[in-house]
Amino acid sequence: MARGPARNLLYLYLNNNNSSKFRFFSVSSRFLHTHFTEPKKIQDFHICGHPLPTPPRFSPLWFNQWKRFDLFNFYGHPFSTVVENEDNESELCNLDVEENECENGTLGSEKRLNFVQIASRDPVEIYKELRDASKGEKQARADWDVLIEIFRCFAKSGWASNQALAVYIGAAFFPTAAHKFRNFFFKKCKVDIAKYLVSLGPCIEAEKFLFPIFVEFCLEEFPDEIKNFRKMVESADLTKPHTWFPFARAMKRKIIYHCGPTNSGKTYNALQRFMEAKKGIYCSPLRLLAMEVFDKVNGLGVYCSLLTGQEKKHVPFSNHVACTVEMVSTDEMYDVAVIDEIQMMADSHRGYAWTRALLGLKADEIHVCGDPSVLDIVRKICSETGDELVEQHYERFKPLVVEAKTLLGDLKNVRSGDCVVAFSRREIFEVKLAIEKHTNHRCCVIYGALPPETRRQQATLFNDPNNEFDVLVASDAVGMGLNLNIRRIIFNTLSKYNGDKIVPVPSSQVKQIAGRAGRRGSRYPEGLTTTLQLEDLDYLIECLKKPFDEVHKVGLFPFYEQVELFAGQIPNSTFSELLDRFGENCRLDGSYFLCQYNHIKKIANMLEKVQGLSLEDRFNFCFAPVNIRDPKAMYHLLKFASSYAQELPVNIAMGMPKCSARNDSELLDLETRHQVLSMYMWLSNHFENDKFPYFKKAEAMATGIAELLGESLANARWKPESRNSGKQKGQEKDGGNERPRRRQETSLSHQQQLEKVAA
Ligand SMILES: Nc1ncnc2c1ncn2[C@@H]1O[C@H](COP(=O)(O)OP(=O)(O)OP(=O)(O)O)[C@@H](O)[C@H]1O
Ligand SMILES: [Mg+2]
């Protein structure tokens, strides 16, 4: 190969993966971070536009030792291209432009050479040259048009915007910076550089050429913006969450992972250790389960208090507490802690509470119970925290058998001890109505929007063989927490509304629900499961066969103090904006994700018009247990916050219904009233008591409404109203404040929102 004219330049061939052609390309030493086996040596020579300081040490033979060069940019991101080392040494250091295939084949060799020189120039020098130029050189009209397009693309480039983050040019500021850079460039532009860019056209290569010049420009022009953004990013740093709990880190904790499917005795065994301990805490996913453990443990003679978002029942002389996971204290010392349903760490909304409990609990022994999906990530966390991990694996007590016959589409085929699972409130009442109309069975119902007390009452009614209520109709709320004597789980459908569209129920959820059948201690020798329709059976079998999905990330959410620190960096923003900015800018390790906060934002937006709330007040109000899809409940929350902001004692401002529900809209009304009272109790526990002085009254009303709900369900023989008719009715009555009843209302995520609440 003939020698190129610029001997002191090194050009590398880049094999462009998109086309099979070799492209002529040059690389600046600043951008070349290769996996060389002799990294020291490679630092000794300069590439592109720089004379080689010690020519004897620069031997093309070095390059021959490596077949392949991966190129990374300044920030460690790989270029899409790969450098292939041709065996012939002269190919690397002495290129012949003429003889090489070049994508832009129409250009003359002189021009191409010129372009090569521009492309290979140090961007710092190019920037300085532009900056120091008194004015730009004249460009042809057609070239301007191309340049304008190139800069338009640059300003919109996701690639450039992402890269800019590494030098603390935030995504919000990037378009402004790109616009100013364009103005600067056009003012100072030189013909050769412009021509080179025009030859590239609006493409990623042009962006890659411009980007380092843009960086130099930004470093000089926007030092304050860069400094501020850097501070902001640093205050939204959620990396290394295990370091947030130095006291827990100072302890030598032993973590026991009780790992297995449903109904295998995980919680039972963990609770044995809990009860034996001098001082223990049980962390529950649901208020309902915390109440069950509270009753059970006290019943066995171990004094135990109860702590949920809504209730604080202190039992004198107790050293044990059953709480909802959000309420766990990371200040208290315990001998034994139990974190139940540990796989909920991966829950998109509430996962942070489990993560916090696992990382922060100050307990010598921590028992975590759950399926195997988070086992690997718990192993990883324990290796980071230095805790000892002991794994105990469990098998189901009773086999789970799939009934291939199904119900053949006919609810008349239900039997005593069956639980029919449906994924919307509407479906639940339709199924109940059909069963009670066409058979002699009576149905109990359980769904997420019912108060825990009512769900327990319905469970007790179903478990008791001495009454006529021998069938259960339930939503996925049945999947966790209740001890139910279920013979057979029948899936009414295996698809549900996810808030956006109808999707198949995830296999992990199918497993969890189906596993409810044949609980140890129940009178059935095995658990059975099947579907209503034959066509759903294959999917059921597929779900049960599938191994648990391995979770790769668990949830995190900032503490109030972290949000407050972040707020200091962007004054005058609303709480909702603050959350968004935090979400955009927070940094996380690979094992964590930021929990979803859309529901919090929705409350934050509603409370925006309430004057006089501090940031901390807003933060607390936003975590109140409210169904954001229920306008009546939202309205009450707004009223509570307004009274609180005016420093008035907050009234419940709601009457007590006189009798149980006679139709579906009265039932919905009872559900909403209970949720509002539950919210009041929660607020009373999370703010100073004197601000919410009617706690006792709210508690008494909530108990009364839970009873009314129980009575209503026992007598419920009405058709659920259609969404539309409900809406019209509501509009007549309350000016559109009717609660929209949507399919997902009974889904677990909804229930979880209500139970989050719990805390
Ligand atoms: N060793 C035991 N002796 C008596 N009863 C037991 C024993 N182990 C478990 N049980 C009972 O078996 C039932 C299921 O046990 P447990 O609730 O511990 O299962 P689990 O694996 O935690 O299930 P889930 O995944 O549903 O939470 C419970 O009613 C529990 O009281
Ligand atoms: Mg359990």
* Model confidence pLDDT, tens digit, residues 162-203: 888 888 888 889 999 999 999 999 998 888 899 899 988 899
- Lowest-pLDDT range of 105-114, 478-487, 681-690: 105-114
Read off the pLDDT of each residue in 622-628 and give the average, rounded to a whole number: 93
> Rounded distance, CA 426 to CA 533, Å?
18
> Please, what sign has the CA dihedral across residues 26, 32, 37, 40?
positive
Q: Whose CA is nearest to atom 27 of ligand 1?
A: 262
Q: Which atom of ligand 1 is found nearest the CA of 394?
A: 21
Confidence of residue 721 (pLDDT cuts 50, 70, 90): low
Question: What is the reported pTM?
Answer: 0.72
Confidence of residue 537 (pLDDT cuts 50, 70, 90): very high
Nearest to 638 by CA among 613, 610, 680: 610
Q: How many helices (DSSP H) and strands (DSSP E) are in the chain?
A: 29, 22
Cβ < 6 A, ligand 1 pocket? 260, 262-268, 369, 483, 519-521
| Share above pLDDT 70 across residues of the chain, in percent, rounded to a whole number | 80
Q: Which atom of ligand 1 is found nearest the CA of 370?
A: 25
Q: Separation of 263 CA from ligand 2 center, angstroms? A: 7
Q: Whose CA is nearest to atom 24 of ligand 1?
A: 262
- Lowest-pLDDT range of 50-59, 494-503, 541-550: 50-59
CB atoms within 10 A of CB 142: 9
Q: Separation of 369 CA from ligand 2 center, angstroms? A: 7
Q: Whose CA is nearest to atom 9 of ligand 1?
A: 265
- Lowest-pLDDT range of 137-141, 336-340, 410-414, 703-707: 137-141
CB atoms within 10 A of CB 456: 21
Q: Separation of 266 CA from ligand 2 center, angstroms? A: 6
Q: Separation of 269 CA from ligand 2 center, angstroms? A: 9
Which ligand number lies closest to the CA of residue 522? 1
Residue with more model confidence, 703 or 235: 703
Q: What pLDDT, on a 0 to 100 scale, did the predictor assign at position 109? A: 52
- For 218, phi and psi rounded to 5 degrees? -65, -45
> Rounded distance, CA 425 to CA 181, Å?
57
Cβ neighbours of residue 305 under 8 Å, at least 6 residues apart?
Answer: 294, 312, 313, 314, 315, 318, 320, 321, 322
Whether the pLDDT of residue 58 is over 90: the answer is no
Q: Whose CA is nearest to atom 30 of ligand 1?
A: 268
Q: Which atom of ligand 1 is found nearest the CA of 341?
A: 27
User: What is the ipTM metric for this complex?
Assistant: 0.99
Cβ neighbours of residue 212 under 8 Å, at least 6 residues apart?
Answer: 28, 30, 31, 74, 123, 124
Tell which one of 258, 259, 263 to mutate to probe ligand 1, the residue whose CB is within 8 A of the most ligand atoms: 263
Q: Which atom of ligand 1 is found nearest the CA of 271?
A: 18
Confidence of residue 43 (pLDDT cuts 50, 70, 90): very low
Whether the pLDDT of residue 397 is over 50: the answer is yes
Q: What pLDDT, on a 0 to 100 scale, did the predictor assign at position 615? A: 92
- Lowest-pLDDT range of 271-275, 465-469, 687-691: 687-691
Rounded alpha-carbon distances, angstroms, from residue 20 to 15, 16, 82: 7, 7, 12
Q: Separation of 290 CA from ligand 2 center, angstroms? A: 12
Q: Separation of 274 CA from ligand 2 center, angstroms? A: 14
Whether the pLDDT of residue 259 is over 50: the answer is yes
Nearest to 268 by CA among 453, 417, 392: 392
Which ligand number lies closest to the CA of residue 259? 1
Tell me the pLDDT tens digit for each residue of 314-367.
Answer: 999 999 999 999 999 999 999 999 999 999 999 999 999 999 999 999 999 999
Q: Separation of 484 CA from ligand 1 center, angstroms? A: 11
Q: Which atom of ligand 1 is found nearest the CA of 268?
A: 18
Q: What pLDDT, on a 0 to 100 scale, did the predictor assign at position 120? A: 82
Q: Which domains does the chain have, with CATH numbers?
A: 115-226 (no CATH), 242-393 (3.40.50.300), 400-545 (3.40.50.300)
Q: What pLDDT, on a 0 to 100 scale, did the predictor assign at position 61? A: 38
Across the chain, mean pLDDT equals: 81
Confidence of residue 111 (pLDDT cuts 50, 70, 90): low
Residue with more model confidence, 533 or 19: 533
Q: Whose CA is nearest to atom 10 of ligand 1?
A: 265
> Please, what sign has the CA dihedral across residues 422, 424, 428, 433?
negative
> Rounded distance, CA 621 to CA 411, Å?
44
- For 643, phi and psi rounded to 5 degrees? -60, -40
Which ligand number lies closest to the CA of residue 519? 1
Which ligand number lies closest to the CA of residue 263? 1
472 in Cβ contact with 486 (< 8 Å)? yes
Q: What pLDDT, on a 0 to 100 scale, did the predictor assign at position 237? A: 86
| Share above pLDDT 90 across residues of the chain, in percent, rounded to a whole number | 61
The secondary structure of residue 469, as a DSSP letter, is E
Q: Separation of 289 CA from ligand 1 center, angstroms? A: 13
β strands within 165-311, DSSP E: 254-259, 280-284, 304-307
Tell me the pLDDT tens digit for each residue of 676-693.
Answer: 999 999 999 999 878 999
Whether the pLDDT of residue 83 is over 80: the answer is no
Whether the pLDDT of residue 55 is over 60: the answer is no
> Rounded distance, CA 575 to CA 613, Å?
11
Tell which one of 259, 262, 267, 295 to mutate to probe ligand 1, the residue whose CB is within 8 A of the most ligand atoms: 267
592 in Cβ contact with 554 (< 8 Å)? yes
Q: Separation of 21 CA from ligand 2 center, angstroms? A: 61
Q: What pLDDT, on a 0 to 100 scale, did the predictor assign at position 214? A: 95
